[in-house]
Amino acid sequence: MGAIAGLTYPTIVEHNGLVYLTGYRDGKMCFRRSADGGRSWLRFVDGSEEKEIGPGEEARAGLVKVESGGRRLLAAVANGAVIEVYVSVDDGETWAMEGEV
Amino acid sequence: MMAEVVRLGDVCGLAVREARTVYGVAEFVVPGGTLRARVYKARTPDVVLEGAQVWLVQRIAPGQEGEDEPELLDQYVLMVDDPYWGRMIAPEVFAAAPFEQTFVMGYRVRGRILHDGVPVEGANVSLEGVLEDDQARQSLFWDSLEYNELIWSQKYETYVEGSQVYAPIMTNADGRWSFICPKGHGAIYQREGDKPSWVSTLARKVVRLCAVYQGRRAELMEENEAIIDVLSGKLRVYGEPGAMVRVSTLDERGQSCVVAEGGTLIEGLPGGEHNVVQFKRGPGGDWDAEWGCARQTVTVVEGETVSVNMGLMEYYDPGAGLIAGRVYERMGVPASGVAIVAVNFETGQIGETLATTDEGGYWEVQIPEEGLGGDPWVCDGKWGSVPLLGFPYSDVVLGARAYSAWPAMYQPEAWRKGPRGHANFTYVPEAMWLVDNEDGTTHETVETAYGGWVTEEALPKFRCLSVEKLLVTGPQLKEYSLHSSSGVVLGSCYLDAQPFEDYETLPGQYRAAGFYPEMKLLIGGKVKGWAVVGDEEPIGLEMAEAHRVGLEFGRHEWYTEIGAWRDAGEPPAPIEGEAPAPPEGEAAISEGTGLQNVVGWTDLVCPYCGGPAWRDPDAFGYVRGFCCQCAEMFGPGDAMDARTHFTLPTVRGATGWGTRARLVMRSGGCKSYGFKWHWRPEVYDETEDFLVQGGPGQATNAPRWFARHVDEMGDGKGFGGYDASTSPPFTAGHDLGYFEGLPEVQRGLGLTQMKLLFPWGYEQAEKVTLEVDCRRVDYQVETLTVKIPAGVKGPDEEKPLSDVVKVSGAHKWAAEKKTTPFAGTGLYREVLRVRLVEPVGAECKFRIVNDAPFMAPTAGVVVEERKAALVALQIGGGGKTSGPHLLDDGIGQVFVFYERDGQIWMRRREGLPGGWLEPKQVTQEGENREPCAEKDRSGRLRLWWEREGGLKNAVSADDGESWVEV
């Protein structure tokens, strides 16, 4: 299992053999994905292994691959007094804030 | 201590060895050669950074990043890491030895202060900057604050503040100054261009930096000399040779001179708008009404020469049967569309409109044979009743602006301490305004080009009266009053006149000139205080300044950023009130209107004399975080501790200031915390009652205010005491109301956590368990279990402070996410009872006192004019944040579970893009967090969460409409 330095408060979700991971790093909620159960991390289009979802608190995020609606990824991130919901329509390449809960 | 893992993109290294720079150089000998770091503050001229911490960072082998003892490769980078100068890493990728890297940790800004071209030696220069965070929110900060010299006091037999004012940055004999701003990652002066490659975005950056001198600003760019040349504006006036010209700054009366062939040069003007009027004198030396000319305004820039051409004077023949004139709203601003009417005082009638002023304020009337039917007047609802004196030409100015004068002696200053001001601050936004005493209209002010303030609008000079009234009283001046947030500064003031003679004349009365108070005004107040991080570690006497104000738990973090913000919304309700609706921390910063944000840092300013704290790692007898001036006067470098103390820029006095804290990590990222409440270092006040000349941890006998525990006030009972050897063992103390009523307090104290202190020489023989009944603000009682470990001690000969046991283990900042009565946060007003639970018969003796900071019963921070609002912060960010949980039930529904105010809530939506339905509260009591849910095959939702140290679960068979706790 590959370790990830500096990433804390993990949440993982498995979907069709892919493992999706969120974790907290330096005031931000970050996202990774793996096709081998986390032994290695898939690279995004820009070559990086990790994408930023948005600013967040030191806490785990909620993460789900929604079965309906185009199988988008949904992340709920605690940020200050609110929970911010982010959506990705491209399997985590980019994230857009949908709103607050 | 574990070695730090340093991340450069996707590659990690381990900080394995440390060295300090000597003559700016640090070296490491490794296999393959020597690695050398040359560290400068700035180059050309070179200034080395002495004593800086340099780390050797060795690359971790791929795949070994998370290992306890990872395999390291023979590839390196060097890392300079300093709390003030920030962090720099070079080279940008790991490389084999040998190599040498040069680090320039700062950038130099410089400037010059001149007075009409002549260098000013010993001038105090301050820096004003604008910070921007990664959300594009901007805040104002000040550095190089002015402070008073220390002089010997016979009364205190020590050094106290004198009247001479200095600043950390001062000009030399040539009027020049320079300052090196730290630019490493995380440094307080870091700019966008200083962002290292291993950081994606800057959490904070300086986007504007200015030198400030007596209200003047000059923007600073690296290495460019910024010149402030006071009273160096020049104005060349062209016009009719031999005519007179009067030049006035803003709307003042001004000074006259003769227009020469080829123009007249007027020197020594302040920057800003100037008004110019050209006229001729009659045989008696008074204004000659046969000649007229349009007034003009011109903006003068200090250090530059601007020109204005007044043209030739126009002749008006008294025998031509024509009267004419110009009417101005204020000097140089024409009043267009104003009706000129004939006022007949014999009939008491206002006749027909004779003329209406054009865009230039000009009007003229051919006098008919039967006459005008009265005297020409302006009778205007806004501009009042004003006669147009002057035949055949009249020059009338209906109004003017009220403003602070440009002479330094009359310029306002921001309050600094007691009766003293900061000359480098001459304007505080929204701090001053004028009120029309007749109708109560408020006239806001803005900053002038030379500092100080001016009303944005022109104020009418005269009231509007009926003819009957005019017959009796003549024109009447409008009365205004000058206000600040502390109240009325001047209850009655009137606009001035602009006579063209050496004496007051009637026509001069109808040319309005601005009012300015010929007095020094100290305006604004400020937030200052102390900040530590967390509440776990005892502070003790190592952090003398934090301990002085009562903070007993927390950790010092260098240069913690503290901000104060305020929006135009309603302030939060007091603690005693109903559920308050305070602004939501950071969110309100960007959403508020009429927003003001100021920011400062801990560890930079001396809490005793206001002097600068030493910032560098090197010594020369000084100690980082301790006051330089106090070190020079009192002797030791650690004479006065400035660590944890902060002073924010001056702001207007107002209620509802919120505070926030930000820790920008040199390793990347930051943590931000908003405080919607007011946390004070009670019981503490800057009054004689709290003033002493000694105290634990204090290196000098300087007179200082010290916080007290409640058992050091009143009858000494505090919140109560316990002695198992007496009967009854518990002796009741007082509630906070008692302490609020003491003469030395006399204010609401809010709520406090409690703690146990032990008697002199006492040592707890065995572990005991107690129950303590505490009364909340709503008079409900919470019972807390307190365990006193064996071995805790009271003070003794070697240890001046007692060990402390907290009554509640809750973080007091958890109250930030709650509403009154702040259940479960350990914030109380009284201790009712103490019971020994086990072991029976155990010896136990202690007293119960307050733990600072208190949650003060105020609507945010209240800033008063010419006072400091004291704030103490244990920065914890509202307690550990609870993570939300998302669930897709596989049949098109998405659920989110989250914690708010200690309760678990749920929302549901019909997949995407459907919106969230109304929230449902799942739990009703206790402290709940970390929800986690799943839906089983029978379609029941199962929810698990933490409550008070254990796990709870509940089931819902109706998609969260109702829940049954299992």
Contact A11 B882 (CB under 8 A): no
Contact B669 A64 (CB under 8 A): no
pLDDT of residue B110: 97
Q: Which residues of A touch B912 (CB under 8 A)?
A: 66, 68-70, 72, 74, 87
Structure confidence at residue B95 as a pLDDT band (50, 70, 90): very high
Nearest to B513 by CA among B521, B504, B522: B504
Q: What is the pLDDT of residues B127-152, one digit of tens each?
A: 999 999 887 889 999 999 999 999 99
CA distance linking residue B381 with residue B338, whole number of Å: 11
Interface of B with A in 7-46 (CB under 8 A): 7, 10, 12
DSSP, residue by residue, B330-341: ETTEE-TTPEEE
pLDDT of residue B61: 93
Contact A64 B887 (CB under 8 A): yes
Q: Taking a C-beta distance cutoff of 8 angstroms, is the pair B85, B2 a contact?
A: no
Structure confidence at residue B948 as a pLDDT band (50, 70, 90): low
Q: Which residues of B touch A83 (CB under 8 A)?
A: 884, 896, 898
Q: What is the mean pLDDT of chain A?
A: 87
Structure confidence at residue B242 as a pLDDT band (50, 70, 90): very high
Around B923, how many Cα atoms within 13 Å sit in the side-chain half-sphere?
Answer: 24
Q: Is the pLDDT of residue B673 over 80?
A: no
Q: What is the pLDDT of residues B909-937, one digit of tens each?
A: 987 778 899 999 998 776 688 899 999 88
Contact A5 B585 (CB under 8 A): no
pLDDT of residue B579: 35
Q: What is the pLDDT of residues B316-363, one digit of tens each?
A: 999 999 999 999 999 999 999 999 999 998 888 888 899 999 999 999
Check residues B278 and B1 and name the one with the higher pLDDT: B278
CA distance linking residue A75 with residue A85, whole number of Å: 6
Q: Is the pLDDT of residue B438 over 70?
A: yes
Q: Is the pLDDT of residue B584 over 50?
A: no
Q: What is the mean pLDDT of chain B?
A: 91
Check residues A69 and B171 and name the one with the higher pLDDT: B171
Contact A101 B907 (CB under 8 A): yes
Average pLDDT over residues B951-966: 89
pLDDT of residue B576: 54
Q: Which residues of A touch B670 (CB under 8 A)?
A: 26-27
Q: Does A25 touch chain B (CB under 8 A)?
A: yes
pLDDT of residue B775: 96
How many CB atoms are closer than 10 A to CB B1?
Answer: 3
Check residues B35 and B471 and name the one with the higher pLDDT: B35
Q: Is the pLDDT of residue B577 over 80?
A: no
Q: Which residues of A touch B887 (CB under 8 A)?
A: 64
Q: Using a pLDDT cut of 70, give the percent of chain A over it.
A: 94
CA distance linking residue B965 with residue B944, whole number of Å: 10
For residue B67, the chain A residue with the least C-alpha distance is A3
For residue A7, the chain B residue with the least C-alpha distance is B66
Q: What is the ipTM of this complex?
A: 0.93
CA distance linking residue B500 with residue B253, whole number of Å: 9
Q: Does A52 touch chain B (CB under 8 A)?
A: yes
CA distance linking residue B47 with residue B846, whole number of Å: 56
Structure confidence at residue B384 as a pLDDT band (50, 70, 90): very high
**Burial grade of B286 (CB within 10 A; 0-12, 13-18, 19 or more):** middle
Contact B883 A101 (CB under 8 A): no
Residue B959 neighbours by CB under 8 Å, 6+ apart: B889, B893, B895, B908, B941
pLDDT of residue A52: 92
Check residues B860 and B499 and name the one with the higher pLDDT: B499
Q: Does B885 touch chain A (CB under 8 A)?
A: yes
Q: Using a pLDDT cut of 70, give the percent of chain B over it.
A: 95
pLDDT of residue B857: 63
Contact A5 B65 (CB under 8 A): yes
CA distance B832 to chain A (A): 34
Average pLDDT over residues B699-714: 95
Residue type, B103: F
Q: Which residues of B touch A3 (CB under 8 A)?
A: 65-67
Q: Is the pLDDT of residue B593 over 50?
A: no
- According to DSSP, the residues that pair with B774 across neighbouring strands are B782, B831
Across B24-33, B34-43, B63-72, least confident range: B63-72
Q: Is the pLDDT of residue B592 over 50?
A: no
CA distance B922 to chain A (A): 15
Q: Is the pLDDT of residue B854 over 80?
A: yes
Q: Taking a C-beta distance cutoff of 8 angstroms, is the pair B670, B203 a contact?
A: yes
Average pLDDT over residues B763-782: 94
CA distance A19 to chain B (A): 16
Interface of A with B in 4-23 (CB under 8 A): 4-6, 9, 11
DSSP, residue by residue, B719-757: TEEEETTSSSSEEE---HHHHHTSTTT-S---EEEEEEE
pLDDT of residue B658: 84
Q: Is the pLDDT of residue B591 over 60?
A: no
Q: Is the pLDDT of residue B575 over 70?
A: no
Three-class DSSP category at B539: coil
Q: Using a pLDDT cut of 90, give the percent of chain B over it.
A: 72
pLDDT of residue B659: 87
Q: Does B484 touch chain A (CB under 8 A)?
A: no
| Distances, alpha carbon B328 to alpha carbons B168, B400, B660, B737, in Å | 47, 9, 48, 61
Q: Taking a C-beta distance cutoff of 8 angstroms, is the pair B155, B691 a contact?
A: no
Check residues B189 and A40 and name the one with the higher pLDDT: B189
pLDDT of residue A70: 75
pLDDT of residue B896: 94
Residue B715 φ/ψ, nearest 5 degrees: -85, 5
Average pLDDT over residues B847-870: 88
CA distance linking residue B4 with residue A82, whole number of Å: 32
Residue A72 φ/ψ, nearest 5 degrees: -80, 160
